[in-house]
Amino acid sequence: MRSRCLRVGQDIFDPHKKNLVMRSTKYLLFCLPLLFACGTPDAPADSTIADNMEKADSFVWETEQFSDKRILRYKVNGWEKLPLKEKKLAYYLTMAGLAGRDIMWDQNYKHNLKIRKALEKVIAGYKGEKNAVDWSAFMLYAKEVFFSNGIHHHYGMDKFIPGFQRAWFEGAMKDVGAALAPEVLAAMFDPAIDNKKVSLDADKDLQLASAVNFYGSDVTEKEVEAFYSAMKTPNADAPLSFGINSQLARVDGKLVERTWKVDGMYGSALKEVNMWLGKASEVACNEQQKKAIDLLMEYFRTGDLKTWDDFNIAWVNDTKSNVDFILGFVEVYNDPMGKRGSYESCVEVTDPDATRSMRVIQENAQWFEDNSPLMAEHKKKDVVGITYKFVNTAGESGDAAPATPVGVNLPNANWIRDSIGSKSVSLGNISEAYDKSGGVSSLKVFCNDQEEIDRSVAHGVLAGVLHTALHEVVGHASGQLEPGIGETDATLKNYASTLEEGRADLMALYYVMDPKLVEMGVMPSLEVGKAEYDGYIRNGLLAQLRRLKLGNNIEEAHMRNRHWVSAWVFERGSKNGAIVKNIRDGATYFDILDYEKMRVLFGELLREVQRIKSQGDYEAGKALVETYGVKVDPALHAEVLKRAEKITTAPYAGFIQPVLVPVVDASGNITEVNVEYPTDFIGQMLEYGSKYSYLPDEN
């Protein structure tokens, strides 16, 4: 399963859950020491740090806002306590991730690298008037492109249309010695060309309607399905992840896979990735981690899918390393066919105190499975290998940056999760940064009444954190396929991602209202669960619509799942007295009247979604998503957009990455690794383009 959790900027950590006065302090401190008591007191910055570095005692969490995006920073809490060997490991892993950064750009769109390099040249060398309208529009466009790793919105999938004149841009490029072919310029300026990065419109050919560079431009959806349906896995009990690391293109009239490996597609970047992984292997935390790193290097060398599985098994079995990582072609949200993994990297340092506080959820995984509303044949008899940690991120790249997840559960192969286990992490310092950055609350805009506002103020942050933990540890690790049912990319196809994310959400929603959580000591009362129900429905049916352009359908997998879960439950709950829609002064609100009835409905939907997954029921999955998760009532949408004008905080957030700076002695040996915190988003993007560009413009 493709199991990345909700990204920062999605409404599990939306503006209404920031800067809140906590009344459940003892529980939040128990569960979240890294959020409210993390790290050590800030120390003054070294005077040699560049002017664009903020002093640590006046740390700036948010640096700017443009369009629908905010730029934040995060601290690498606890870095100074790490031994040198672990600092070196984190540095090498971060550099390995950055070395492959260009891969994500090329995966997102075939012209992205050409366009990015032209933008970089103009920003760095343009000598013309910079107070003019065209320059301002150009810089806004550049920021949008850098934020999204390409010319399409990272979440909404629509193409950015420049607000500056094409003639001005061509003149600016000429002035700095840059040029783009006519077809590339047309791709930038013509709204009709490649206008959707990922299209999930069931009325279109999903592949031909999508601009992503995972397939040849003339390869159809049916051809992709036929190509992979003809493939036979050597071991039916351990199916290979066909398509995860290749581009499917037509060569001399025949469909072939262009594998991403050192001597294949993206080879020049992967060779550099492996160079840094080799250094990381030498300072691995233990032999198990060294085994995993070495297998990952072998996978990048050969592109062998069995080696990918071997790496994932070795990685899952490494439960002791204090510094861990995610690296490779992992999540498939960006592939309309649900097969190809986007390149990403995330380097993590364990927060031991916070991990201990939340370990009780991991330790009770079997109880959650046994007491879930799933059909008996869909429950795991033996939940194995679940590992859950709170971590602090040290560096991210590719699909994990600038916009990043707040929680991750891997690996994605169901058979590995069932037989070996999985790892779940919550990125504590990312959540901390989001929580501590400024913003105007949306509670008064979308809450039904003062009671709902008060409940969110008192319990909203804890409710969101518990939802994330339950979503990752209990949700994604739960359930099993029936014998003979294939992986969901083959059975549920383009609906697999949204159905799995909804399934994990439903497991979290079902249990966040369970008295067991109070008994376990992770929340003070069921008021926390009520706050989560309020927020989930409010977001799924109202707040998240502010991210859509008027008239658009919902296409992003997470937004779809929040909408179909909420809409399905509302439809039934409005008939049994669980929930009501109120309209006051032309504004729509939702009011939950009976939380226990809502829990029953969440459980019923969970049971059905697990059945769909376990039986590979494509038609039922399609009907659920298309009926409840795609269409938006245009009148309600217009109303939400109008109401949202009162909210000054942008709905999406991304991060400037900290910089790990090695200190070397006269012999070239690393004696220390320091952390610096840049504040210039564009400056970091230009630096990345200069230092970590290992691919040609055309791949």
Q: State residue 38's pLDDT score.
A: 28
Q: In whole angstroms, what is the distance from residue 474 CA to residue 497 CA?
A: 17
pLDDT in tens, 305-330: 999 999 999 999 999 999 999 999 99
| Adjacent-strand bridge partners of 325 | 347
Residues in the chain, overall count: 699
% pLDDT > 90, the chain: 80
Q: What mean pLDDT comes out for the span 74-93?
A: 97
Q: Is the pLDDT confidence value at 55 over 80?
A: no
Q: Is residue 512 part of a domain?
A: yes
Asked if 69 and 140 count as a contact pair (C-beta separation under 8 A), the reply is no
- For the chain, give the mean pLDDT: 90
pTM of the model: 0.88
Structure token digits, residue 274: 């492996």
DSSP 493: G
Residue 5 confidence class, pLDDT cut points 50, 70, 90: very low
Residue 439 confidence class, pLDDT cut points 50, 70, 90: low
Q: In whole angstroms, what is the distance from residue 233 CA to residue 251 CA?
A: 24
Q: State residue 609's pLDDT score.
A: 98
CA dihedral sign, ordered 107, 111, 112, 117: positive
- Of residues 528, 444, 530, the one with CA closest to residue 32: 528
Q: Is residue 145 part of a domain?
A: no
| Adjacent-strand bridge partners of 346 | 326, 396
- Of residues 433, 326, 383, 410, the one with CA closest to residue 71: 433
Q: What mean pLDDT comes out for the span 255-278?
A: 98
Q: Is residue 47 part of a domain?
A: yes
Q: State residue 362's pLDDT score.
A: 87
Q: Is the pLDDT confidence value at 37 over 50?
A: no
CA dihedral sign, ordered 216, 221, 222, 228: positive
- Tokens 């009532």 locate to 633
Q: Is residue 185 part of a domain?
A: no
Q: In whole angstroms, what is the distance from residue 70 CA to residue 143 CA?
A: 11
Q: State residue 242's pLDDT score.
A: 97
pLDDT in tens, 577-602: 999 999 999 999 999 999 999 999 99
Q: What mean pLDDT comes out for the span 565-579?
A: 98
Q: What mean pLDDT comes out for the span 686-698?
A: 97
Q: Is the pLDDT confidence value at 518 over 80?
A: yes
Q: Is the pLDDT confidence value at 473 over 50?
A: yes
Q: State residue 353's pLDDT score.
A: 82
Q: Which residues of 312-331 are buried (b: 16+ CB within 10 A; e: fewer)?
A: bbbbbbbeebbbbbbbbbbb
Q: Is the pLDDT confidence value at 48 over 60?
A: no
Q: What mean pLDDT comes out for the span 119-124?
A: 98
Residue 555 confidence class, pLDDT cut points 50, 70, 90: confident
Q: What mean pLDDT comes out for the span 610-626?
A: 97
Q: State residue 438's pLDDT score.
A: 61
Q: 10 Å Cβ neighbour count for 86?
A: 21
Q: In whole angstroms, what is the distance from residue 36 CA to residue 391 CA?
A: 14
Q: Is residue 223 part of a domain?
A: no
User: In sequence order, what are the residues at sequence separation of 6 or more whose Cβ sits closer than 8 angstroms to the Cβ of residue 624?
Assistant: 499, 564, 568, 608, 609, 612
Phi, psi (rounded to 5 degrees) for 169:
-65, -40
Q: Is residue 127 part of a domain?
A: no
Residue 552: domain span: 11-101+264-655
Q: State residue 501's pLDDT score.
A: 95
Query: Into how many domains does the chain fold?
Result: 1
Q: Is residue 168 part of a domain?
A: no
pLDDT in tens, 494-508: 999 999 999 999 999
- Distance between start and end Cα atoms, the chain: 28
Q: In whole angstroms, what is the distance from residue 598 CA to residue 600 CA?
A: 5
